[in-house]
Amino acid sequence: MKTELMACAAGTALLAMLATPAFAETLDIEASDTTDRVVVTGYRLNAPAEEAAAEIARQAGNIALVDAESFSTRYAIGFADTLAFTAGVVAQPKFGEDSRLSVRGSGLANNMHLRGVELLFNGVPINNADGFGDYQEIDPLFVSHMAVNRGANGFRTGSTMLGGSIEIIGISAASLDSGSALRAEGGSFGTSRLHGRTSGVQGSLDYAFAGTWQRQDGFRPNANQSNGRLYADLGWRWNDSVETRFGVLRSDINQEMPGSLTLAQLRADPRQPDPAAIAGQYARDMNAWRGWTVSHFDTGLGRFSVGGSATTRTLWHPVPVIVDQDMEDYRLFARWSHEAELAGLPVEFTLGGDLRRGETDARVFLNNGGQAGFQIGDSVQTATGANAFLDVRLGVTERFDLLAGLVNNSTRREVDNRLAPAAGGDVSFSSLTGRIGALYRFDDALTGFANISQIVEPPTFSDLTQGGVGGFTPIRAMEGTSYEIGLRGAYERVRFEAALYRIHLDNEFTAFTVVPGIPAAIFNADDTVRNGFELGAEALLHDGTSGAWRTRLAYTYGDFRFDGDAVYGDNRLPGLGRQRLVAELRYAIGAFEIAPSLTWQSGDGFTDYMNTEKLPGHTLVGLSARYEVNERIGLYLEGRNLTDRAYVSAVSTVANAATAAPARFTPGETRALYAGITLAFGGGQ
């Protein structure tokens, strides 16, 4: 382990040397200048993304900006597509847009859906008030850009979760340059998607509206989906100092679930059905409305923002049991940022907080051929919380900044079990967590950073009720400390970000599948430890009259294990292999571009806590191409898994594979081909 970490550190140092002015022909620009991104990638960030990139460059941690342009010529429907080139992030697709998302090893105990990462859309949490949630409401075609605050870097949004936070900023009149577009796509497995958007400015009002309809049969039986989504963003500028914004996100999602296979079945034919999924009509159908508003006030005492959001959602979810839920979630928030001087030194601080309340009417039935049978669960789950955070930056010198932060979080979980009142319960969690960091600019293009941060993550209702089918279980909050050090560079021909981290955790959530298809039972582990290395890089290899060659890659190394556990010793935590590489080589000449890609996942992971069964690795080959017919019309073509490799996309973890049910593996998508056309109108096209 020490040897591997030393090799990672050596790689970081080597990369820093390669990025010196003599090698990379550095420009005399600030690190936050986007000229370097234009040179390396060949496209320019929109105005809101430029502002986000400049702010990220000032942070003492490894934070990634993902611009929508980077996945605009792909059939992108979820995080496995949009975050493919983000080191430290692994999204394992399961069905439709759903995947198991892991950032620095978060969510390994979650065999489905969202936990361990706070997901924000235009500042509104997608997670429920208890931290659990879903990805399916997010349409990548509604996205302007994303900031991936890996791990403890989520402090900047008030998140203390292990995986940090992902800030998704939706399209607006500013990001679309008051333009409009139509997009049509189709491809393998009966796939079709239609998307339209429009935006503009009328006096003090700016607006953006978008809608998407999508359907797909899937490459396995019982994998159909038909989804519709709507989005609106409006802003009203009262004067030069005051602005109010409104937003709506509407989702109508109908997805079948193809189920799991044994490893032998997957290798023989990944397209084959899961009879249980067909008999039980496994599905996840969701209907949701989200609305929000925020007002910004620019005054002589800084910038003050205040707003609120409201969410309603229904869920119909047949698996071996049927989960039937109605949820409401409400939030009020405020934020104040100011710049001043302290002992003659520049200081910036941000003070913010929110109040949240969520209530879920949760019902569980036996599955009678896809219909509700005998009721085995009926509860009202109420989560309330108050969060306050302070972030301070002190400019010690022109090159050296110190940063510090505090987050005070209080939250309560209450379960009213209407079938068995004695099986209900409540629990409260309170924490004050801190962070310190340092940022040093070696020159205008190379920056070093380091931070030490605390982690606190309370359990979700799924933990406390054991998937909704058990009595109230007093699961403890997960706590820990994160240590991170890294470099990032922005040169004319090379951009990179690299970080080493170590995380110590107490009470980590672990999950054992007890009955196939039923959410795993959750337990607290003793001590666990994470060691990791992240490297993301882009390079312009050649640019001349014969065309331009560019490359980008994301390398992730993560060793996650128990630390002297009474049962599992120093065993590895299951669910992920230690290494992952995603790389792409792009050739562009004129209006044409072609890009072969490679995804490699090491086969040194495990499927169980006893480490008796290996998790197979895989290598996938892809190819994408695009052609800009003119300023208004663009075409793309994408091929995935071109060698038609049978591979494991995700696995349900168990305590001991030798005694567990073998049908726990989700096959990855087989060979597929997608194509699309975009027609743009108006704006600055």
pLDDT at position 98? 81
With a cut of 50, which residues of the chain have pLDDT below it? 1-32, 685
The answer to whether position 168 is within a domain reads yes
pLDDT at position 517? 56
The answer to whether position 384 is within a domain reads no
Buried b or exposed e, range 218-238, using 16+ CB within 10 angstroms: bbbbbbbbebebbbbbbbebe
Residue 190's SS3 state is: coil
* Tokens standing for residue 228: 């519709």
* Tokens standing for residue 603: 């086969």
CA distance 650 to 594: 29
User: Which CATH number fits the domain that encloses residue 612?
Assistant: 2.40.170.20
| CA atoms within a 13 Å half-sphere pointing along the CA-CB vector of 319 | 18
Number of domains in the chain: 1
The answer to whether position 494 is within a domain reads yes
Residue 205, number of CB atoms within 10 A of its CB: 12
- 507 dihedral zone (left: phi>0; alpha: psi -120 to 50; beta): left
The H or E element containing residue 1 is none
The answer to whether position 383 is within a domain reads no
**Considering the entire predicted model, what is its pTM?**
0.91
Where in the sequence is the domain holding 27, given as residue range(s)? 2-378+390-682
In DSSP terms, which residues pair with 504 in a beta bridge? Answer: 481, 529
CA distance 346 to 400: 12
Residue 423's SS3 state is: helix
CA distance 506 to 527: 5
pLDDT at position 338? 94
| CA atoms within a 13 Å half-sphere pointing along the CA-CB vector of 294 | 20
Task: Say if residues 78 and 135 touch (Cβ distance below 8 Å).
Answer: yes
* Tokens standing for residue 84: 């493919």
Residue 666's SS3 state is: strand
User: Token pair 């168990």 is at which residue?
Assistant: 654
The answer to whether position 616 is within a domain reads yes
| CA atoms within a 13 Å half-sphere pointing along the CA-CB vector of 182 | 3
The answer to whether position 473 is within a domain reads yes
The answer to whether position 522 is within a domain reads yes
The answer to whether position 26 is within a domain reads yes
Query: 228, 294, 273: which is closest to 255 by C-alpha?
Result: 228
Q: What is the pLDDT of residues 139-163, one digit of tens each?
A: 999 999 999 999 889 988 889 999 9
CA distance 312 to 361: 12
CA distance 112 to 135: 10
Task: Say if residues 642 and 621 touch (Cβ distance below 8 Å).
Answer: yes
